[in-house]
Amino acid sequence: MQSEKEFTTWVEDYSDILFGYLLKHGLPKEIARDILQETFLAAWRNMDSFRAEASVKNWLFVILKNKITDHYRKLANKVSENSIDLDTVGEHFFDNSDHWNKGAYPQNFKGNFESPVETKEFYKLLRTCGNRLKEIQNAVFSMKYIEGLSSEEICKELNISSSNYWVLIHRAKLQLRACLQKNWMEIQDL
């Protein structure tokens, strides 16, 4: 009973910070919830081995990061199974002669996301557009541009090759900008 009480305190004290970490790594909410659950389950099962450790928070983060790595390894395997084709990176964006497709022309955003009033809306949209990317793309993108990790660190953590990294991040950038253009305009038109 004593350990149940202690475990409950761990969940109460640290689940929010662990959950926030997962989301900032670009993991979709449902998957973040699953990984969080697995992390605490592992912590509960191994509570006895924790005793000697110094900080509960650090220990939980070690478990969490292992779970994230496992998750990404599975995703990365799927990526290499479907091997990414370099030539298809901009397939919807460019025509046969490698110029912009008319439907994909970059246009001015109608909103000005530097203005404080619109900033909040812009960030909400940025999140939404990020979540529309494929999970592995969003992971690479968030790690690079939100977490500020280097490409080497990202390749290591996700277990992907540098050419796959490059394709994923490049494609994510094209899609994100196009999504912002489309939706930012819709917001402004309302």
Partner 1 sequence: MKVSLTCKKAVDLISKKEEGKITLWQRFQLWNHFVECSLCKLFNLQNKSIVDSLPRLKNEPEELLSANEKKEIVDFSIQAK
Closest CA to 89 of 26, 169, 159: 169
- Residue 93 interacts with partner 1 (CB under 8 A): yes or no: yes
Report in angstroms the alpha-carbon separations of 129 from 4, 82, 134, 183.
40, 24, 11, 9
> CB under 8 A: which stretch of 41-49, 57-65, 66-74, 131-139 binds partner 1?
41-49
Alpha-carbon gap, residue 59 to 119, rounded angstroms = 37
- Residue 181 interacts with partner 1 (CB under 8 A): yes or no: yes
* The one among 105, 115, 117, 189 contacting partner 1 by CB under 8 A: 105
- Residue 58 interacts with partner 1 (CB under 8 A): yes or no: no
* The one among 2, 58, 82, 108 contacting partner 1 by CB under 8 A: 108
Q: How many residues bind partner 1 (CB under 8 A)?
A: 53
> CB under 8 A: which stretch of 29-37, 52-60, 67-75, 153-161 binds partner 1?
29-37
Contact 93, 174 (CB under 8 A): yes
- Residue 11 interacts with partner 1 (CB under 8 A): yes or no: yes
Phi-psi region of 84 (alpha: psi -120 to 50; beta: other; left: phi over 0): beta
